[in-house]
Amino acid sequence: MENTQYIKTMSLTSGAKYKIQLQCVAKRGFALSSSGFRVLWNGATVIDGSVPSDYDLHTYSTYVVASGVTNTLILEGRGTVDSQGSTCDNV
């Protein structure tokens, strides 16, 4: 069993700048070690929410540049593999 990944491949204008933003929260009642995540853009980590320090809602954002026409965004769970993890929304 592995952590979950959400993968989205997009056709974008090469060289254009885009903002990635999302909100994530660790699930109350579960260990924070279950709630890490990271965001990858074309294979490179651009947001690292390794292990949260609390159960509050946090907003994460960064800018990326499209390389070529096809670009890939991955939201990946990290930490203990237990079917729990963070909840992320407003991507």
Quick: pLDDT tens for 26-51. Answer: 888 887 877 788 899 999 999 987 77
* 83 band by pLDDT with thresholds 50, 70 and 90: low
Contacts of residue 67, defined as CB under 8 A and 6 or more positions apart, other chains included, come to 14, 42
- Among 52-56, 76-80, 86-90, which is the least confidently predicted range? 86-90
Residue 32 DSSP SS3: helix
Residue the block writes with tokens 């960064």: 62
Residue 33 DSSP SS3: helix
Q: Is 7 exposed, middle or buried (0-12, 13-18, 19+ CB in 10 A)?
A: exposed
